Amino acid sequence: MTIIESKVTIAKPVADVYAFLADLNNHQQLMPENIYNWSSTSTEARFTIQNMAKLALKIGNLIPDNEVQIVAAEPPPFEVELKWLLTANAGTTDVTYQIAADLNMMMKMLVSGPLQKLTDHETERLKAVLG
């Protein structure tokens, strides 16, 4: 399993960050420009990644003020799990965003760079939106 992650500190209480991330409607604000055909509910999102794939994701496991897990709602091109891990500090929240993907060597070479860019983009957008 390949794990790609990005970390950021948000100047908001953990409950605020968790509430934002636990609602998939909010995740459209975190996506890069190459995401289109976005549709979502609070627990499921569907979108297309330009020149790559269509994805359907849903909320998996929720641990209040600690973790938001997002899993595939339909079979993806490869097994993937997205996880937002939250740690409360004095008035701020440390956020770690992880994408765990089951990639063979060829796929790893092709998608590791774009997935790292995606995780970095989403954490920076989270900081901009909630900061």
Cβ proximity of 129 and 30 under 8 Å: yes
- CATH code given to domain 2-130: 3.30.530.20
pTM of the complete model: 0.92
Contacts 24+ apart (CB under 8 A), 108-115: 108/2, 112/2, 112/4, 114/52, 115/4
pLDDT tens string, the chain, 131 residues long: the values are: 999 999 999 999 999 999 999 999 999 999 999 899 999 999 999 999 887 778 899 999 999 999 999 999 998 777 889 999 999 999 999 999 999 999 999 988 988 898 899 999 999 999 999 97
